């Protein structure tokens, strides 16, 4: 089984809908991250969490919210989706003991019409 | 703010040759720098990490150099194979305890048989 899983893998939705992307990990890492990837813009950090009680905004958090339900689970929500949130979304985990080498999930391709 | 520049143009090389990819950064020297491989539609996979006080790091056919004077890292794949075709990302990893990974947009490598 994959160490970092994301659901759904693909989602098409309409403007204004609320969407939740879920991430689970079996690596036992405390640190989890949400990124989005757009052509030509690279990976950009949305939110990150260092433990269950710690949630922090990244560089592009507007329009997004997160929930850290447990050490292993980190969810990303789009409260009211808009077309420019169409992107590839990745969850990642890391651990200080390995210099924050990041382990990425397979990604969720989200399309907002 | 810190920025990372990777050659956005695809790099085509002949099988068996050495591929060299460049990662330049503009501001402070990172504590360490990472390289990732990303295949289409998949999450990045960690390859190598090099610390600020290291000049060179090797792993099998991969070699990374780090020149803090030039603010540049070079990533080499020797004896390249078609299976090495992918996008390669560099990332500036923050000092231990902080969070903000900064990723380059990546360089697409194609190894021709």
Residue B79's Cα: distance from chain center in Å? Answer: 17
Q: What is the mean pLDDT of residues B13-30?
A: 90
Is the Cβ pair A42, B93 closer than 8 Å? no
The length of chain A, given as a count of residues? 113
The pLDDT of residue A2: 72
Cβ atoms < 10 Å from Cβ of A6 = 22
Please answer whether residues A90 and A104 qualify as being in contact, where contact means their C-beta atoms are separated by less than 8 angstroms.
Answer: yes
| pLDDT band, residue B96 (cuts 50/70/90) | low
Nearest chain B alpha carbon to A101: B46
- Sole residue written with tokens 């890391």: A94
- Which is more confident, A52 or B98? A52
Ordered per-residue pLDDT tens for chain A, 113 residues: 679 999 999 999 999 999 999 999 999 998 999 999 998 888 999 999 988 999 999 989 999 999 999 999 999 999 999 999 999 999 999 887 766 789 999 999 999 99
Tokens of A49: 């969490």
Task: Look at B105 and A42 and tell me if their CB atoms are within 8 Å.
Answer: yes
pLDDT > 90? residue B53: no
DSSP character at residue B11:
E
3-state secondary structure B57-84: EEECCEEEEEECCCCEEEEEECCCCHHH
Closest CA to B39 of B112, B113, B106, B92: B106
**What was the pLDDT predicted at B38?**
96
Is the C-alpha dihedral spanning A113, A55, B40, B111 positive or negative? positive
**pLDDT score of B93:** 77
Rounded Cα gap, residues A92 and A14, in angstroms: 26
Strand order in the sheet with B4-6: B4-6, B19-25, B72-77, B62-67, B56-59
pLDDT band at B98 (very low <50, low <70, confident <90, very high): low
pLDDT at B94: 67
Write out the residues of chain A at the interface with chain B, using a CB-CB cutoff of 8 A.
Answer: 4, 31, 33, 35, 40-45, 48, 50, 56, 58-59, 88, 90, 92, 96, 99-107, 109
- Number of Cβ within a 10 Å radius of residue A95: 15
* pLDDT tens per residue across span B4-18: 889 878 899 999 999
Average pLDDT, chain B: 89
pLDDT value of residue B51 = 85
| B45 closest CA partner among A103, A106, A1, A89 | A103
Task: Give, as one character, the DSSP assignment of residue A76.
Answer: E
């Amino acid at each position: 089984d994959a160490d970092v899983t994301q659901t759904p893998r693909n989602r098409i939705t309409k403007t204004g809908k609320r969407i939740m992307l879920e991430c689970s990990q079996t690596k036992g890492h405390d640190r989890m991250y949400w990124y989005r990837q757009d052509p030509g813009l690279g990976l950009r950090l949305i939110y990150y969490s260092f433990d269950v009680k710690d949630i922090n905004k990244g560089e592009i958090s507007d329009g997004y919210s997160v929930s850290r339900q447990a050490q292993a689970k980190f969810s990303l929500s789009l409260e009211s989706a808009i077309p420019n949130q169409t992107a590839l979304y990745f969850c990642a985990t890391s651990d200080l003991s390995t210099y924050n080498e990041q382990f990425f999930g397979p990604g969720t391709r989200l399309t907002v019409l | 703010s810190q920025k990372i520049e990777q050659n956005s143009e695809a790099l085509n090389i002949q099988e068996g040759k050495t591929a060299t990819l460049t990662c330049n950064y503009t501001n402070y020297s990172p504590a360490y720098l990472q390289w990732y491989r990303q295949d289409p539609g998949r999450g990045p996979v960690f390859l190598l990490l090099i610390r600020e006080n290291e000049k060179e790091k090797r792993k099998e056919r991969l070699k990374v150099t780090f020149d803090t004077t030039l603010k540049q890292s070079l990533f080499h794949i020797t004896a390249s194979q078609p299976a090495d075709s992918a996008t390669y990302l560099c990332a500036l990893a923050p000092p231990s305890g902080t969070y903000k990974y900064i990723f380059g947009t990546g360089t697409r490598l194609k190894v021709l048989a």
